[in-house]
Structure formats: C-alpha cells, structure tokens
Amino acid sequence: MEVYLDNASTTNVSKEVFEEMLPYFRENFGNPSSLHGLGIKNRKIVNKSRIKIAELLNCKKTEIHFTSCGTESINWALKGLAFKNKTKYEIITTNIEHHATSETCNFLETLGFTVNYLRVNKEGYINLDELRDMINNNTLVVSIIMANNEIGTIQNIKEISKICDEARTYLHVDAVQAICHTEINLETLNVDLLSLSGHKFHGPKGIGLLYIKEGTHIGNLIHGGQQELKRRAGTENVPYIVGLTKALEIGISNLDIYTNRLNEYSKLFLDRLDKEEIKYILNGPVVGEDRLPGNLNLSFKNIDGLTLTYLLDKRGIFVSTGSACDSESIEPSHVIQAIEVPIDFINATVRFSIGNETTLEELDYALDNLVDILKNEM
C-alpha cells in the first residue's frame, strides 16, 4: 500500500477539476487576446472564471488577477508595493514566513528597505502588541502568513487588519496554505492583498492569483501585453484558470465536511500515539479551529527525522520533514527553530499532512508502520 501524507506540499488534481480542464487543451485552445471566434470564446471563459472566483471570495471581479503560482503572487505583492511607493521604506513580517516572502524581503533590503520581523510564541502566534509597537508612519506593508505551511497555525488576520488600518499601512496575506482549509471572506477579512495557489486544494500546479483591493497603489511585476486588467502581462493559462476556479468552488462548498473529517482523523492519529506511549511534541496549536485541518507537525524524542522519513518511504508512506521548498536542507527549519522546539526533539520533526482523499484504512496502515519503526527500528 502507498499512503500519501504530504498534502501540505501539494495535492493531486481532482477528477472533477481534471475533466473541467480537458477541453481547453485541444478543442478550446484559442489565445484569449485573439479577436477571432476561438479567442473570444476563451476571453469569455477567463472573465467568467474571474467573476466566479470573486463571488466565492466575496470581492470585486476587478480585484482578481491570475498569476503562475503563490510565489509569483507574493513577489508581486511586495515588490509591486515597494516599486510604486517611494515615501515609506519599512516592511514588517514574521520569522515563520514561507521562503517566497522571506527571500523577497531579503531582496528588498538590498534596495534600501528595512525589514522588521515579528517573533512568534511556541504555538506560532505573533504578539499583537508587538505589532502595534513596531508599526509606524514609515511602515509600507505588513506581510503575514495566514496559516503556516509547516505547523498549521492560523493567525488572527481580522485583528491584524484592524492594527494596519489604524496605522494606514498596507496588509498582505499569504493565504496559499489557508485557502479551502479555513474560511476566507475578503469583505470581512479586510486585507489589501492576498496570495493563493491552485495546487494546495486539488487544482493544478502553475496557477495562482493575487487579490488586489481596489485603491491599492501597486506596480506591475511582469511587463509586456495588456493581459490581466493591464497589470500582469503574458498569455492567460486558460485550462489552468478553469481548473483553479473549479477546485476553489469544490473546496469552499465542502469546507465544513472537510474540516470536521480531517480534525477527526488528526485526533485519531494522536490518540494512537498516546496509546502506544510514543514520546512526541505536537508543534503548533491543538487540533481545532485555530489549526489547519489535517496538519500534524510532530517532533519525536532523540531520533533523526530524515532517517524516519526514509524508513516510512521504504514502506510506501510519504511525508516530509518541513516545507517542500526547503527539502534539501539538513538543518531544522526556520519555523521549528522559531518556536523553540527542545533540543532533544528538534532533529526528529516530521510533518504528516492528511488530505481530502486520505482513507481510514490508509491512516491505520501509516500508524501501524510509524509505531513499528519508532519502537523497533529507531
């Protein structure tokens, strides 16, 4: 048996999404910028997708801009603000951001911007009072990861938004891991920019979007043609836009069922480890509404995480030691270091991310083998 428990790094394209995309690879292949019938037909499809996503996220259709992925969206949000606004030169972010954010901030520091980092507590939450103290008249943007991709912590974006509003500072939210895993209503969330990517919720890789709130002063990242409301050049990826839209529609409609089932599976997973008297730490908050459903980031005592993932892989169980974007590193991730996992646990940190298609039979198989490895091979 093979059991895929790395859904936080990517998900498969669902059957419904795949079937929705298929006609746009061969039959309906026209360039949306062309003025003939095939092109105009696909222009209408792109516009229809934009309208549908705006309805799902509760925003205006002119605020939705398609990109190639979450990383591009994050780069555009931060660089676009930096290039367009010439009076403020400070950025605030956290020390547990995805590398798409942290590396973009590092780049902007080379251009003269100052980046200030909010610390997090042992569960991965920022201190709102620290944000209030740090934000000032020179702060251009606060960039926060809504739900951490490694430890599943869901930040209080509504309270963060209030602080940014009072300071007249832009707020960018990395919602790549959060979308279709927790509720996102852009009208009530009140953020200026929000990034997401299709492959985290059974859409295809290579498609994302950036929400840009009306009135946000942001420059273009990619120059060329007049696509994406004259803000993002390049021929639109019609089949992937169709797939993203369908995946988002399905994910939002199934959110409550998905959340309840994955939280139940997570509790079952931890209960089994407790019953077997396995020594572990659950990194991040407890299983529930403040943690991504299905995200179990566990540190085991006095073992090596890479060895554990290798032994699980030999038995057909696929997990990760952290973010897939940092998988070549042999050091504990910056997120695990930031929450100060104890030294005798930190080197054996493994993320088990249960997915929408994970079955109880697969979970039992994974648990049986995990317990056997921990007790008999480590």
Annotated catalytic sites, by residue?
A: 325
What are the structure tokens assigned to 87, written together? 């009076």
Alpha-carbon span 12 to 198, nearest angstrom: 10
Cα separation of 364 and 269, whole Å?
9
Comparing C-alpha atoms, which of 208, 213, 233, 199 is closest to residue 171? Answer: 213
Residue 126's H or E segment, with its range, is: none
The CA distance from 247 to 18, in Å, is 9
CA-to-CA separations, 81 to 23, 211, 234, 312, in angstroms, rounded:
37, 13, 20, 44
What phi and psi, each to the nearest 5 degrees, are found at residue 23?
Answer: -60, -20
Q: Are 125 and 95 in contact (CB under 8 A)?
A: no
Residue 68 · residue 207 · CB < 8 Å: yes
CB neighbour list of residue 316: distance below 8 Å, 6 or more residues apart: 1, 2, 3
| Contact present, 176 and 182 (Cβ < 8 Å) | no
- Please name every residue paired with 6 in a beta bridge, in sequence order, or none if there are none: 353
- State which amino acid sits at residue 282: L
Please count the other Cβ atoms lying within 10 Å of the Cβ belonging to residue 19. 12
Task: Enumerate the β-bridge partners of residue 218.
Answer: none
Q: How far apart, in whole angstroms, are the C-alpha atoms of residue 217 and residue 213?
A: 9
CB 282 within 8 A of CB 367: no
